[in-house]
Structure 1
Amino acid sequence: MVVKTAALATLLAVTASAWTVPSNLQTFYNNVKNGGCKSYAGGKSNLNDGQGHSGFGFCTDTANVVYLTGKNSLGDMDIDCDGASNCGGLSGDWQAGTSFDDILVSKKYGVKTLDASIHQFSVLGTCNLNLEGLISPLALVAVVCNNQLFYSVWGDTNGCDDNNFTGEASISLAQLCFPNEGLNGNKGHTAHDVLYLAFTGSDAVVGPSNANWKTKSASDFQNSLKTFGDSILTKKFGSTVPPTNPGNPGSGTCEWVGHCAGATCKTNDDCDGDLECKSGVCGGSSGGTTPPPATCSWAGHCAGASCKSHDDCSDDLTCKNGKCAT
């Protein structure tokens, strides 16, 4: 539930490590901010940002992710205080639960609802745009804000009193992103420069053991998301950040989103660069004889991506037989 008009005193900004934005994710951020989207979830591309601006939607152009975008812009960041603590009990527009509390209880997460002051969560979907067919509840959401990377979970949705507003996050995530802006329930971040990158697939769900759900510290919760966040970013998006999970071997830069180290495969052709398909998973190459892929600066449109014309392919790649290739 978005909190836009309630009187809410400024909370002390929490502190946590800000993660470096990987170079390929930064390139993707720049392209999205300066480009457009062809396919929107539910065909809806005229959602509202809560500031009187329309033309926003959740883009499905890129494999393995769904992200909020506008016309040559990204999302803003309004404030959500729903859940356990009501941001210190000061919000006048508050609900005592979040959207996926039934899962938190049934899957034994150790908490009955999220706490916006502790848990970093993103608010995705609107009153009449349900994203559950594309994203699993409590899925990992990478958030690029203020030239930093933070991890969050898909923890709440907007209600029907919000006129289909988009671009919203828990108070703890907002204050991590913009600690010097004095954000509170009555003041959000209004610039359209925030990338909410939600990962698809059941393996992207942040499970009970993937984060410290019982912590009382916002910084501890963010730090606890790092290992799982890095592994999913690497697996799903080809992150150039070395994975912190030793079970997900890296191979350096990965240009073919969805086919990086840790991705499922049937043959070596399903894996990026010189990675090999070992036991159904893309991993390090033993021979290293496969030449590296062509440079690709447009994630989701690299070598191997489906295409209809050359314009669907990144850089110097061309569309051959429905696939981007050199």
Structure 2
Amino acid sequence: MFLQSTIVISFLAAHVLAWTVPANLQTFYNNVKNGGCKSYAGGKSNLNDGQGHSGFGFCTDTANVVYLSGKNSLGDMDIDCDGASNCGGLSGDWQAGTSFDDILTSKGYGIQTLDASIHQFSVLGTCNLNLQGTISPLALVAVVCNNQLLYSVWGDTNGCDDNNFTGEASISLAQLCFPNEGLNGNKGHEAHDVLYLAFTGSDAVVGPSNANWKARSPSDFQNSLKSFGDSILTKKFGSTVPPSDPGTGTCSWVGHCAGASCSTHNDCDGDLECKSGICGGSGGTTPPQTCSWVGHCAGASCKSNDDCSDDLECKGGVCSASSGGGTSPPATCSWVGHCAGASCRSHDDCSDDLECRNGICT
């Protein structure tokens, strides 16, 4: 909902990462902004942007995605504070829940509702346009804003009190997109330059293990979406996103940067080498993974020993060295898949007090 509070909300944590927009996604963005949609969900192309402008709709003319489009324009970004915290209790137009709370509570997400101050979510659909037959609840939504890429989930819908408004996002997403605009409950981003790209299919749903739903900061939640977001973007749209963390260096071949899986040196960008199935720097900077089943090495999440490579065992939900080996990563870790031994690109990819060293959480 577009809120009436006049108090500026500021809660962004340090070390926020924004992701580089891959070339083909940037081309798509430019084409949508400069062209017109050919097919709208429900045949509705005259929805409102909340600022008195009509002519918007959710476009279905591209395989695997649904996106908000206007007449030679994209969406704006109004502010939603619904959910757990009411953006710090400042909103006078607030609902205590979000649209898919029944899924969150029944499917093991570990939370009762979304928190707009923590979770990046997009608001899709309106009172008179139900998108659930086209997009699955909690589906991944890639958001191109301010020349950067961020990931979000489809977490809420617009009710009938908002006159079929479109172009709305949680306040945490809005402030990550436009950190210098002083966005708050009474001030949204009015320019029509935001691409909301929602992915279709059940495989695009951000599940309980695909993000850190108990994150304590917007940056923590955004970082936790990165891996799943990249995989869906690659699968559905043919793009992978290079890391923009300056600590990882530059990479000219998207999807083949440090940390990417590989079979030979030819699969890795520039001077990177393929060692143990992972692209890394030469001269001893490649992540020291000796594991024949990439993705199931020490630190990977698991349910049984069969989920772990070689002689590794599943301990506390994490693939670890067998008993007596003395090299097991800690079995207690609050962010499964990001424990000791997991691959990483920055400290933010590692759980608790672990740090990213040479591509490995330690």
TM-score of the superposed pair, with normalisation by structure 2: 0.67
Bigger Rg over Cα:
2
* Residues 134-182 of structure 1: CA deviation (Å, up to 9, x unaligned): 0000000000000000000000000110000000000000000000000
How far apart are the structure 2 equivalents of 1:162 and 1:237? 32
Contact 1:145-1:177 within 8 A present in 2 as well: yes
Q: Is the 8 A contact 1:14 1:172 kept in 2?
A: no
Q: Secondary structure at the match of 2:198?
A: strand
Deviations 1:68-124 (A, max 9, x none): 000000000000000000000010000000000000010010100000000000000
Cα distance in structure 2, aligned partners of 1:185 and 1:245: 40
Distance 1:30 1:54 in 2: 21
Query: Conserved in 2, the CA contact under 8 Å of 1:123 and 1:156?
Result: yes
State how 1:43-58 maps to structure 2 within 5 Å: 43-58=43-58
Q: Secondary structure at the match of 2:153?
A: strand
Q: Secondary structure at the match of 1:137?
A: coil
- Whole-angstrom distance in 2 between the partners of 1:4 and 1:59: 27
1:24/1:240 contact within 8 Å kept: no
Residue 64 of structure 2 corresponds to which residue in structure 1?
64
Partner Cα distance (1:11, 1:94) in 2: 18
Gaps of 5+ in 2: 242-254, 269-362
Q: Is the 8 A contact 1:14 1:176 kept in 2?
A: no
Partner of residue 220, structure 1 = 220
Residue 141 of structure 1 aligns to which amino acid in structure 2? V
> Following TM superposition, by how much is the alpha carbon of 1:245 offset from its aligned partner in structure 2, in angstroms?
7.2
1:136 equivalent in structure 2: 136
What's 1:19 paired with?
19
Structure 1 residue runs of 4+, over 6 Å off?
A: none
| C-alpha distance in structure 1 between counterparts of 2:159 and 2:261, whole Å | 40
Whole-angstrom distance in 1 between the partners of 2:240 and 2:115: 32
For 1:29, what is the secondary structure of its paired residue?
helix
Please name the residue that 2:4 is paired with.
5
AA in 2 matched with 1:156: D
Structure 1 match to 2:323: none
Kindly indicate whether residue 196 of structure 2 is the aligned counterpart of residue 196 of structure 1: yes
User: AA paired with 1:87?
Assistant: C
**How far off is 1:11 after superposition?**
2.0
Q: Which amino acid aligns with 2:10?
A: L
Structure 1: state its 5+ residue gaps: 253-326
Match status 1:82 vs 2:86: no
Structure 2: distance between partners of 1:122 and 1:204: 14
- Partners of 1:10 and 1:210 in 2: CA distance: 28
Equivalence for 2:104: 104
Query: What is the distance in 2 between the residues matched to 1:46 and 1:151?
Result: 27
Q: Name the counterpart of 1:306.
A: none
Counterpart-to-counterpart distance in 2, 1:118 and 1:240? 25
2:268 is equivalent to residue 231 of structure 1: no
Write the distance in 2 (CA, Å) between the matches of 1:245 and 1:70. 37
Q: Report deviation, 1:3.
A: 2.1
Name the counterpart of 2:118.
Answer: 118
Aligned Cα RMSD in Å? 2.0
* 2:8–2:183 contact (8 Å) kept in structure 1: no
Conserved in 1, the CA contact under 8 Å of 2:120 and 2:222? yes
**Amino acid paired to 2:9:** T
Q: How many Å apart are 1:217 and its aligned residue?
A: 1.1
- What residue number does 1:31 align with? 31
SS in 2 for 1:7: coil
Verify the 8 A CA contact 1:120 1:169 in the aligned structure 2: yes
- Letter paired with 1:60: T
- TM-score, structure 1 length as denominator? 0.74
Higher relative contact order (CA 8 A, sep 6+): 1
Aligned to 2:149: 149
SS at match of 1:223: helix
1:279-305 CA-partner distances (Å, limit 9, x unpaired) = xxxxxxxxxxxxxxxxxxxxxxxxxxx
* Aligned counterparts of 2:68 and 2:186: Cα–Cα separation in 1: 22
- AA partner of residue 2 (structure 2): V
Aligned equivalent of 1:323: none
Give, in whole Å, the separation in 1 of the partners of 2:260 and 2:78. Answer: 33
Q: Which residue of 2 aligns with 1:291?
A: none
Q: How big is the shift at 1:12?
A: 3.6
1:246 Cα deviation from its structure 2 partner: 4.3
Q: How does 1:280-295 map to 2 (within 5 A)?
A: none
For residues 55 and 260 of structure 2, the distance between their equivalents in structure 1, rounded to whole angstroms, comes to 39
Task: Report sequence identity in percent.
Answer: 85
Q: Could you tell me which amino acid in structure 2 is paired with residue 39 of structure 1? A: S
AA of the residue aligned to 1:129: L
Give, in whole Å, the separation in 2 of the partners of 1:148 and 1:45. 27
Partner of 1:91: 91
Measured in 2, the distance between the counterparts of 1:74 and 1:40 equals 14
Supply the distance in 2 between the matched residues of 1:8 and 1:136 (Cα, whole angstroms): 34
**C-alpha contact (below 8 Å) 2:21/2:148 kept by paired residues:** yes
Equivalent residues in 2 for 1:179-194, closer than 5 Å: 179-194=179-194
